[in-house]
Amino acid sequence: MKSHSPEEQPTQKKRKALHIRGLRQRWMVNTVAPVLVLLILIVTLFSAGIASYYYSAMRTGLEQKARTAAEFFNTYSMNSYTEFYQQAVSYTDGFEDKGRMELQIINSVGRIQVSASNLTAGTTPDTDDILQAISTGKMAPFQGRDPQTDENILAVSYPLSFNGKVVGVLRFVTSLRAVNRQILISVLAIIVIAVIIMALVLTANLIFINNVVEPLAVVSDAAKRISAGSYGIQIENKYTDELGELVENINDMSLKISQSEKMKTEFISSVSHELRTPLTAINGWGETILADTTGDPVQMRRGIRIILKESRRLTTMVEELLEFSKMEDGRFTLRVEQVDLQAEFEDAIFTYRELFRQEGIELQYEAGDEELDPIPGDPERLKQVFCNVLDNAAKHGGSGKRITASISAEDGMEVVRVRDFGPGIPEGELPFVKRKFYKGSSKARGSGIGLAVCDEIVKLHNGTFDIENAEGGGCVVTIRLPIRDE
């Protein structure tokens, strides 16, 4: 596992901080910003609505009062303007709402003749509602600043008629100070509520994003360390959701990469040793034969036999490496034709029987009672599988001094079984024996890719290649191939 230098660690922490900050900012923009915009819109609409409601209610109340008061004036018949004036003074003196609003009687030129508070008599308000009521003869409202007091007011002017002619205006005026205060209180209340909601949303999102970003930062850092060569590192999995599944996958990937790297290293070491051993034997016996000036035929035949044996072993290893290379880049193909599987298997049996006999291993073959039909397949590849399986049986189970082989038809499949009577395979290694480069605890010679090549060939034939420990000891290899091409 590689370690990081002190100079690299601050840089990694800085990148990690930038990664977290960037992700948090994007999350906030994409989730909090829409909520903030929505709350601002709600507060704005509520403020406008509450103001409109209060102002409308006040204007309606003033209009109702103005209409009632005007009807009172118009129901009395007045023969002169003096009577009109006396009636106005009498009405304003008895006005009961002096504390809440101002009642004004205005003449036809816009001057206040009588007021309930007697404070504005003789003045000219000069607002649009008065001029509109005199000119149109219809009730008119006004909302805004009083030109004289600069106070926010709401006023309603109702025309008064005498002999069919507008002679004055009855005007109700009220201050908006209390209403504005009520509106402000309502708006502040909704703003406080909006701020509380925003704070809750912000807090919830910060908690959530921290719970997401921190684990992602840990996973990202682990992935960088794996890509830098720290294979096999494991992340503590404290999560039960999708993050937990991600961490589990990262850990599994790290472990598999570590195993692959270990197997690759072992493979290179093993292949180097396996190649060096036959080459050393070939060179050694070649030099021995050349140095033997007597020309002893026994010694020469013995040396040539060893050279041929080591050459065949070297050729087998090179062929396995070539097959593995084809598997890796997708050039591993079949030349399918109708194959007499039993004949091909028996050919391999007869080829290895004498070799095994020389090593003290008995190879027993049992053919089925019925004649097997030809099946679609590549005879050269299938022969390669049989030879590899028989060779492995002798290599790993030769201590049992016996190997049994059989072929038969079972449930639409032609089944080949090869069993040795050696020590078998440790249970913990059984799931991995068909992996590339895997040799496990075996000390036997080999590159570790022969079974992987066999498994690939059988799969291309739509068959199965199984390796199990047999009852009573030893290992059994079962090859099942379909009789008909799927």
pLDDT of 325-352, one tens digit each?
776 666 667 888 999 999 999 988 988 8
Q: Does pLDDT of 2 surpass 70? A: no
For residue 55, give the nearest of 163, 160, 146, 183 by alpha carbon.
Answer: 183
What percent of the chain lies above the pLDDT cut of 70? 85
Please answer whether residues 130 and 171 qualify as being in contact, where contact means their C-beta atoms are separated by less than 8 angstroms.
Answer: yes
Q: pLDDT tens, 240-280?
A: 777 778 878 888 888 888 877 776 776 677 667 667 777 88
Identity of residue 354: E
User: Phi/psi of residue 195, each to 5°?
Assistant: -65, -40
For residues 386 and 405, give the distance between their C-alpha atoms in angstroms, rounded to a whole number: 10
User: Phi/psi of residue 447, each to 5°?
Assistant: -90, -20
Instruction: Tell me what pLDDT residue 142 has.
Output: 93
- DSSP label at 319? H
For residues 367 and 344, give the distance between their C-alpha atoms in angstroms, rounded to a whole number: 13
> Using CA atoms in the order 295, 297, 300, 304, what is the torsion angle rounded to 10 degrees?
140
Q: Answer with the residue of higher pLDDT: 15 or 58.
A: 58
Q: Model confidence at 8, in pLDDT bands (50, 70, 90)? A: very low
Token pair belonging to 52? 């409109």
- Indicate the pTM of the whole model: 0.47
Instruction: Tell me what pLDDT residue 184 has.
Output: 92
Q: What is the mean pLDDT of the chain?
A: 81
Cβ contacts of 20 within 8 Å, gap of 6 or more = 213, 214, 217
**First CA to last CA across the chain, in angstroms?**
47
| Tokens 């007697």 belong to residue | 118
Please answer whether residues 102 and 115 qualify as being in contact, where contact means their C-beta atoms are separated by less than 8 angstroms.
Answer: yes
Q: pLDDT tens, 111-146?
A: 888 888 777 777 888 888 998 988 888 899 999 988
Domains within the chain, CATH numbers bracketed: 242-328 (1.10.287.130), 333-482 (3.30.565.10)
Q: pLDDT tens, 377-416?
A: 988 889 888 988 998 888 877 677 889 999 998 888 999 9
Q: Model confidence at 181, in pLDDT bands (50, 70, 90)? A: very high
Partnered with residue 405 across adjacent β-strands are: 365, 418
Token pair belonging to 368? 């089925």
Q: pLDDT tens, 453-483?
A: 888 889 989 999 999 998 888 899 999 999 8
| Average pLDDT rounded to a whole number, residues 438-459 | 71
Q: Model confidence at 440, in pLDDT bands (50, 70, 90)? A: low
Please answer whether residues 255 and 231 qualify as being in contact, where contact means their C-beta atoms are separated by less than 8 angstroms.
Answer: no
